[in-house]
Amino acid sequence: MNLDTIQTILRQHVPDTAPSARTRHHAAVALVLFPGSDRALSTLFIKRAEHPLDPWSGHMALPGGWKDPTDTTLEAAARRETAEETGVPIAQEALLGRLDDVETDRLRQIDLSVASFVYYLEELPPLTPNREVSLILQAPLDALLDPQRHAVYHFPPDPLHRAWPCIHYDGQIIWGLTYRVLQNFFLLTGDKLPAENELP
């Protein structure tokens, strides 16, 4: 996947921000791109620490979180939360663009939208997870597109036992809102992740 192509696409993309306009609560996440060990574009995921009050306790996620009253914009919230959770400071100049907003799925009765911002860093500083994070994972974008890693996930608390699309990577399961953000990103860049109606 070519960085120049991604930059051009995101520069031209007009994101759908309607979900953020109609929901009461707002969060923002960062899709941080950087050259991996083999120089292939990679990104960061976090595993949220177990906490009884966190609706996404123990889930894989992109760095980010709720918009704080001190955040001037959702984009500022994405950068602040990423620095707090991973120790990675992001300058505003690193922003490549914004993806379409997503809303909480049918499993969550929370009036929440998530804005997603894509950044590029030439290199990563040492990663320092805070108490909200139990794991930081680096994953090449090509690996996330590997059909061999695509599967279905049955979320245990779901009373309907539905099948959700997911990605298996390094012993972790990426699904839900995070999967949907990745879907938006890859759809823009000309690639594709399976949707619910395309599951085996």
- CATH number for the domain that contains residue 43: 3.90.79.10
Range of the domain at 21: 3-143
DSSP 107: T
Q: How sure is the predictor about 19, in pLDDT bands with cuts at 50, 70 and 90?
A: confident
Task: Point out which residues pair with 136 in neighbouring strands.
Answer: 46
pTM over 0.85: yes
> For residue 104, what pLDDT is reported?
80
Does pLDDT of 156 surpass 80? no
Residue 68 forms part of a structural domain:
yes
Residue 173: inside a domain, yes or no? no
pLDDT tens for 41-84 read 999 999 998 766 666 567 899 999 999 999 999 999 999 999 99
Give me the percent of the chain exceeding a pLDDT of 70: 89
Instruction: Report the candidate in 138, 101, 75 with the shortest Cα–Cα distance to residue 21.
Output: 101
Residue 168 in any domain: the answer is no
Q: Does 160 map to a domain?
A: no
Domain count, the chain: 1
| 164: in domain | no
